[in-house]
Structure 1
Amino acid sequence: MTMSALAIAAQVRDGSRTAASFLEETIARIEARDGDFNAFTELTLARARRDAADIDARRARGETLPPLAGVPFAVKNLFDIDQVVTTAGAKVNQGNPPADADAVLVARLKDAGAVLLGALNMDEHAYGFTTENTHYGAAHNPHDLTRIAGGSSGGSGAAVAGGLVPITLGSDTNGSIRVPASLCGVFGLKPTFGRLSRRGSFPFVGSLDHLGCFAGNVADLAAAYDAMQGPDPADHACAQRPAEAVSATVANGLKAGARVAVLGGYFHDWANAPAREAVRLAAEALGATTVVELPGAEQARAAAFIITGAEGGALHRQRLLTHYADYEPASRDRLVAGTLIPANWVVQAQRIRQKFYEEASRLLQDYDVLIAPATPVAATTIGAEWVTINGQKLPCRASMGLLTQPISCIGLPVCTAPLWPGIGEDPHLPLGVQLISGAWREADALAAARTLELAGISAVRDV
């Protein structure tokens, strides 16, 4: 595992290492190892060297350096990078003009001193859970190169798990941060819908898209999240709330008396034994002895599918008519089908979504954190078409989102923490848990993850 982001920044600030030396170390590591992982689709080395040199020059002038000074990071390739084409994993976008500015979150991390290394592999247009990209090739799980890294932010999860960079950015519409975090064994944060600006990112489903981050420990995750917070009037979905820094408040874990429960019912039934064991381990460490149900989860997942299909199809309809052959086979038929969804289905899906949100909000008045598995199974082999969950044979790609879709449908914040249940057919593979908190209460989810980290049961393992 690479050095933590905060340790890098501390050494750059105190002068014991330069940002340039950390950068060259990172470049060498990517060149040596990413051939196995296929996490990067674009390297921005000239820019990175300029940014690192600027950090070192600022220190030489005696300036106070920002909190992430010299920290290497990379972003899912649906984030705009100045002077780079934002492909969103798609051939059809390769002829687009380069972005003329960084995405807001990329710019905020740069302002915090972080050094961008490039763009990361993903499912085309973020429509998938496995990052088996036809154009760029599959992202490989660093813990077993025959396995998927999850999706659609698979490159982001693999880059952290493989020790290439300490922080990455991703997006989560139906589970695309939480699934790779679970399968790659890293920490991932999907904030409340509207918490972080989406300006400068390629959209998928406007009413469901979230942006967030991955890291190798909770402190780094919280620091990246803090650096990206703040209102953005130019993003209509971004809540105009002041930043609420969490780094200091989550450092010691959950406060005494925190109310934690396990989600049963749907979230138990659609998880195999290793995923249930991960939940049991987390519950034991967090002192959660109560099992509760969240009615309507199955219906909420169906609603998410309908909303995703309708909005995604509408977004791509015109280009599907003119460039159908350029779209990835794994997603283009679903996008076409989405254009045919009746309007009354979408209206009903939104009603179900609202009802499920109200159910979850009532439950989260009684509990600070809810625990659920993040994925029903560990990482499957690349190319697998089917997966068996509790005796039922199901399509592999769609089923990886069984447990994440209901939660992102209603926009609640979730921190995925990596665990290692060590049972079943794949004891060498990680499985994450979702730590779900109420809207705008990211600190509770992160504090729960920190408690698991302090207990020694949640950690990123070297590869």
Structure 2
Amino acid sequence: MSFDAFTPAHLIAAQIREGAVSAEAVITGFLDRIARINPQVNAFTDVTTERALAQARGIDAARIAGQTLGPLAGVPFAAKNLFDIEGLPTRAGSKVNRERAPAPRDAALVERLSAAGAVLVGGLNMGEYAYDFTGENAHDGACRNPHDLARMAGGSSSGSGSATAAGLAPLSLGSDTNGSIRVPSSLCGVFGLKPTYGRLPRTRSFPFCDSLDHLGPFARDVTDLAMAYDAMQGGDAHDPACAQRAIEPVLPALAHGVSGLRIAVAGGYFATDGMPEADAAVKAVAVALGATRNLVLEGAGIARAAAFLITNAESAAFHLGRLRARADDFDPETRDRFLAGAMQPAAWYIQAQAARRWFHDEMMRVFADIDLIIAPVTPCPAPEIGQKTLSLRGETVPLRPNLGLFTQPISCIGLPVAAVPVFGAGLPIGVQVIAAPWREDVCLRAAHALQRAGVCEAKAPAMLA
């Protein structure tokens, strides 16, 4: 067989189109690996074996018949279980939702990847209702980090980060409200893309906080990330946030590199003093990209506070009926945050939205003079499963919220971000490369340049290779 579990998706698709390997052989190989490895990492909650094999056989038949295959023909992918998957209840990581009727149709992004030839192999573990940075699900069990099974995969897209890092699927889909693509990317050592708010449709996915929810892909290779992103682009009238968005392919832009880009390192709120792994990673990326400026982003702390208040208020309102009817079926930590949001004064929400608009306007002024900003993703590599606190700048703080310390201000105003993995002597840690709204091409150009330079790469986990 001419591929293995860590072969980039675009190379797998090329081999299938050329007839060097069959789609059925590829999918069978990955399904076998999922059966062997998933009990260790707990990334999958559902495996769609029959569907995957049927689609793979259809791809092989189409190739034999001389039909043109899609750019991702035969490439396995998996989706966080808040995406609708036809025939399965959309769990959203909860106990309550698993009693829902099976979804009658796939989520829009699942449909779009499938239309490009990618083959869905299952649904993925996640934090309950996406309100989590750890990946420790009270109902489905903790998702484990492939680089150290005693450590967290990160959340809330825990299964997406873990499955991609473990070589169970070259591509996966996740969601990011306050950092839930970037945190698992950082802890698991893979690439992740949080597009601009409104760029990709959320149609037929289970919401968390409507004004902050983003959907996006994970991959082990930047070309794969760009191909998946391009396949999913386009407006959708069922999601008003992206109803009018035109398709702007990024794959051709990767070759442009970072020449001519004005690049700065975020300091102040984003300073990495006392965080040795994050500090080393940011410096490595800054040197490789040729960053020439340091930048203090005024108001980032205010933006993070606004994100907390907006998240609490919107999510609590959405879940209030479930809380009244079945409070005991929630993870207590999730339930208590929703209840706090339900009691939040309306004035706080209004003030948070005003702060959000102010920070957005401040950042637009920054982007008049800067094209790309470098910042850490997480303050540390993957903590141990069950860990409750974190040492941060000389203080002991709660771990769960502070894994999103550096991601929340960026989510708050919907900027596009690529999370890129840096491996030091031990576990991986991620760096954010952040651009102005609608400039995913800039983020991915930087990520591609870093991968080509060998500074950022997704390494095969030694214990699972």
Q: TM-score scaled to structure 2, two decimals?
A: 0.97
407, 411, 414: which one aligns with 1:408: 411
2:448 maps to: 450
C-alpha separation in 2, matches of 1:444 and 1:270 = 27
Q: CA deviation at 1:421?
A: 3.2
Contact 2:274 2:394 in 1 (8 A): no
Contact 1:324 1:332 in 2 (8 A): yes
**Does residue 83 of structure 2 align to residue 83 of structure 1?**
no
**Does residue 218 of structure 2 align to residue 214 of structure 1?**
yes
Contact 1:191 1:212 in 2 (8 A): yes
Contact 2:272 2:278 in 1 (8 A): no
1:432 maps to: 430
113, 117, 120: which one aligns with 2:117: 113
C-alpha separation in 2, matches of 1:121 and 1:251 = 35
2:148 maps to: 144
Contact 1:219 1:251 in 2 (8 A): no
How big is each residue's C-alpha offset from its partner over 1:353-412, in whole Å with a ceiling of 9 and x where there is no partner?
Answer: 011111111111111110000001111000001010121111011100000000000000
**Does residue 175 of structure 2 align to residue 171 of structure 1?**
yes
1:172-211 correspondence runs (5 A): 172-211=176-215
Q: Which amino acid aligns with 1:450?
A: H
Aligned residue for 1:212, secondary structure, equals strand
C-alpha separation in 2, matches of 1:351 and 1:222 = 34
**Does residue 128 of structure 2 align to residue 124 of structure 1?**
yes
What 5-or-longer segments of structure 2 have no aligned partner?
A: none
Contact 1:271 1:377 in 2 (8 A): no
Q: CA deviation at 1:257?
A: 1.8
1:149-164 correspondence runs (5 A): 149-164=153-168
Q: CA deviation at 1:454?
A: 1.2
Q: Which amino acid aligns with 2:389?
A: W
Contact 1:271 1:376 in 2 (8 A): no
C-alpha separation in 2, matches of 1:217 and 1:270 = 30
Number of paired residues? Answer: 457
C-alpha separation in 1, matches of 2:66 and 2:286 = 48
Contact 1:45 1:117 in 2 (8 A): yes
257, 277, 281: which one aligns with 2:284: 281
342, 346, 351: which one aligns with 1:343: 346
RMSD: 0.9
C-alpha separation in 2, matches of 1:132 and 1:345 = 30
**Does residue 242 of structure 2 align to residue 238 of structure 1?**
yes
2:460 maps to: 462
C-alpha separation in 1, matches of 2:161 and 2:273 = 23
85, 97, 100: which one aligns with 2:101: 97
C-alpha separation in 2, matches of 1:420 and 1:131 = 21
Q: Which amino acid aligns with 1:392?
A: E
C-alpha separation in 2, matches of 1:54 and 1:269 = 50
Aligned residue for 2:431, secondary structure, equals strand
Aligned residue for 2:241, secondary structure, equals coil
C-alpha separation in 2, matches of 1:257 and 1:226 = 24
Aligned residue for 1:91, secondary structure, equals coil
How big is each residue's C-alpha offset from its partner over 1:92-111, in whole Å with a ceiling of 9 and x where there is no partner?
Answer: 11111010000000000000
Q: TM-score scaled to structure 1, two decimals?
A: 0.98
Aligned residue for 1:431, secondary structure, equals strand
Q: Which amino acid aligns with 1:108?
A: R
C-alpha separation in 1, matches of 2:419 and 2:151 = 20
Runs of 4+ in structure 1 displaced over 4 angstroms?
none
Aligned residue for 1:196, secondary structure, equals coil
What 5-or-longer segments of structure 1 have no aligned partner?
A: 423-427
Q: CA deviation at 1:269?
A: 5.0
How big is each residue's C-alpha offset from its partner over 1:329-372, in whole Å with a ceiling of 9 and x where there is no partner?
Answer: 12001101111111100000000001111111111111111000
Contact 2:186 2:419 in 1 (8 A): yes
Q: CA deviation at 1:283?
A: 0.3
2:386 maps to: 383
How big is each residue's C-alpha offset from its partner over 1:37-70, in whole Å with a ceiling of 9 and x where there is no partner?
Answer: 1000001111001111111111111101010000
2:7 maps to: 3
C-alpha separation in 2, matches of 1:25 and 1:330 = 38
Q: Which amino acid aligns with 1:34?
A: N
1:425 maps to: none
Aligned residue for 2:368, secondary structure, equals helix
Contact 1:195 1:239 in 2 (8 A): no
Q: Which amino acid aligns with 1:117?
A: V
